Amino acid sequence: MPEHPLARRVYELFTRRGHTLATAESCTGGLIGHLVTSVPGSSEYYIGGIIAYSNAVKRDVLGVPEELLRAVGAVSPECAEAMARGVRALLKTDYAVATTGIAGPGGGTPTKPVGLVYIACAGPEGTVVEEHRFRGDRWENIAQAAEAALHLLLRVAGE
């Protein structure tokens, strides 16, 4: 797979500024990390990532509070924010991006439909969370979420 153009922009920005990055991925299953590492030299700034598919990993590794998971669920802006902050602290990076959502084709509900994804980016100035409602098949939803995460990262990091 050739390098992704958004990942190239992240590489250029982060290496120029000396920033570091971590990822916490649920619904994207590691695709963001894959896109980032498709660019040669990404080890200069990409520290690593956690694929937190289960709530246990969200809670036990990333520090998402059990009470939060019970109250609002894993597919929530609060969970995305906690995941981003958690992986940033765990891997000691300048920035972190996190995704949680419902890729489909199953798993949706009337209040949390297939394609609902929350993306959070944590950095030195705080954390920004976005809600997205993608309308593709499973792969399209995952790919769109990963691209949206890179766009958010570039905005928050000040490209």
Query: What pLDDT was estimated at residue 2?
Result: 79
Query: What pLDDT was estimated at residue 125?
Result: 96
Give the H or E element holding residue 34. Answer: helix 31-37
**Residue 143: CA atoms inside 13 Å, Cβ hemisphere, count?**
7
**Is the predicted pLDDT of residue 151 greater than 90, yes or no?**
yes
Residue 25's alpha-carbon distances to 17, 48, 86, in angstroms, are 24, 11, 12
Share the mean pLDDT of the chain: 97
Phi, psi of 145 (to 5 degrees): -65, -40
Would strands 21-25 and 95-101 be described as parallel, antiparallel, or unpaired? parallel
Distance (Å, whole) CA 85 – CA 95: 9
Query: What pLDDT was estimated at residue 12?
Result: 98
CB 97, CB 27: distance < 8 Å: no
Share of the chain above pLDDT 70, in %: 99
How many domains does one find in the chain? 1
- 105 prior amide bond cis, ω within 30: yes
Mean predicted confidence (pLDDT) in 105-129: 97
Write the single-letter amino acid at 106. G
Query: Among positive and negative, which fits the CA dihedral 30, 32, 35, 39?
Result: negative
118 pLDDT tier (thresholds 50, 70, 90): very high
Query: What pLDDT was estimated at residue 38?
Result: 96
Query: What pLDDT was estimated at residue 35?
Result: 98
What CATH code is carried by the domain that includes residue 27? 3.90.950.20
pLDDT digits (tens, 9 = 90+) for 28-85: 999 999 999 999 999 999 999 999 999 999 999 999 999 999 999 999 999 999 999 9
**Is the predicted pLDDT of residue 1 greater than 90, yes or no?**
no
Query: What pLDDT was estimated at residue 159?
Result: 81
Distance (Å, whole) CA 144 – CA 91: 25
pTM of the model: 0.97
Number of neighbours of residue 144 by Cβ within 10 angstroms: 18
